[in-house]
Amino acid sequence: MQNNSQHSDGLVVILATGGTIAGSGDDVGYTAGQVGVADLVAAVPALAGRALEAEQVAQVDSKDMSHAIWRTLAERLVHHLARPEVAGIVVTHGTDTLEETAYFLHRVLGPAKPVVLTAAMRPVTSLQSDGPQNLLDAVTIAAHLDVRGVLAVLQGRVHGPVDVRKALPFALDAFSSGEAGPVALIQEGQLRALRPWPAGTPLGMSAIGTDPAAWPRVDIVVSHAGADGVVVDALVAAGARGLVVEGTGNGTVHASLLAALARAQATGVRVLRATRCAGAAVVGAPAGALPSAGELSPAKARIELLLEILTSAA
């Protein structure tokens, strides 16, 4: 596939949401979401002179990412993507839930321009700070003429929104696309595409409405040795409209938990079956099995189910 560095002179908008890339402190005892987006840009000398705009959409540790921030971020993206002078958009984010935000934006917006999420495993105050290079790479990709869709760039690897996941909790090279592998590499500012850019049929903003507080409750339950149905029954009683089960192996589920999920299904709760095995799809759907989440991790299957319930209610 293409191996080039076709930068446009178009404007890149940076939407900041917080995370370690905006963190301050030492390598473990830091606080995420402290540094404003203007200072993040100023910390990358190579960005001086580039056509950039920056906007602080949120300032959170991404473990605390909310549906309300997702809704606001999607709305700001729609606004900037519609501007003809904008070549692409960078979203700075925490690493912990970056993969969820990437999948949500992919399914809702499926943009024709690049929307590039990036993050850092070390705060800007660390000797190992990885944020500045990741931000530079993200801006380079967002300005690239050939790129489209929601992507995530970290450590020189460009990941697609379906496969990307944080695979390691502390290592600098923490992200993986599992068996699928990255969609591209960026090395010394040169982009090398390996697979097609993410495509699909976006649901559009109308699918998610204007009030995230009205989104249905969808939870994740886990199958494990000794599992039972107590959590499922409690979640159904709390109003869950969808449940993702993080199964063992190829999406297998403990018999006691399975019985509770079947009870939930019988009351109209939708269920999807994923696997706790990292970076691989659930293969096949034996007769009588719960519906499969396929290649989606449990966290992404939760988003898929949430959107499915929202769109089927519309």
Residues of the shown chain interacting with ligand SIN in the complex, contacts defined by CB under 6 A: 18-20, 32, 61-63, 94-96, 119, 121
Least distance in angstroms from the C-beta of 216 to ligand SIN: 25
Least distance in angstroms from the C-beta of 18 to ligand SIN: 6
For residue 292, the cross-strand partners are 273
Burial class of 291 by CB neighbour count within 10 A (0 to 12, 13 to 18, 19+): middle
Tokens of 238: 């709390």
Active-site residue 20, yes or no?
Answer: yes
Beta strand 157-159 pairing with 184-187: antiparallel
Q: Is 240 in contact with 217 (CB distance < 8 Å)?
A: yes
Nearer of residues 25 and 294 to ligand SIN, judged by Cβ: 25
Least distance in angstroms from the C-beta of 33 to ligand SIN: 6
Residue whose CB is nearest to ligand SIN in the complex, by number = 94
Distance CA(45)–CA(62), nearest Å, equals 26
151 backbone dihedrals φ, ψ, rounded to 5°: -135, 165
Distance CA(291)–CA(161), nearest Å, equals 22
Nearer of residues 124 and 257 to ligand SIN, judged by Cβ: 124
Nearer of residues 20 and 297 to ligand SIN, judged by Cβ: 20
Nearer of residues 20 and 292 to ligand SIN, judged by Cβ: 20
Least distance in angstroms from the C-beta of 61 to ligand SIN: 4
Tokens of 156: 């020189």
Q: Which one from 20, 118, 140, 275 is the annotated catalytic residue?
A: 20
- For helices 67-81 and 98-109, the axis angle rounded to 10 degrees is 50
Q: Annotated active-site positions, please?
A: 20
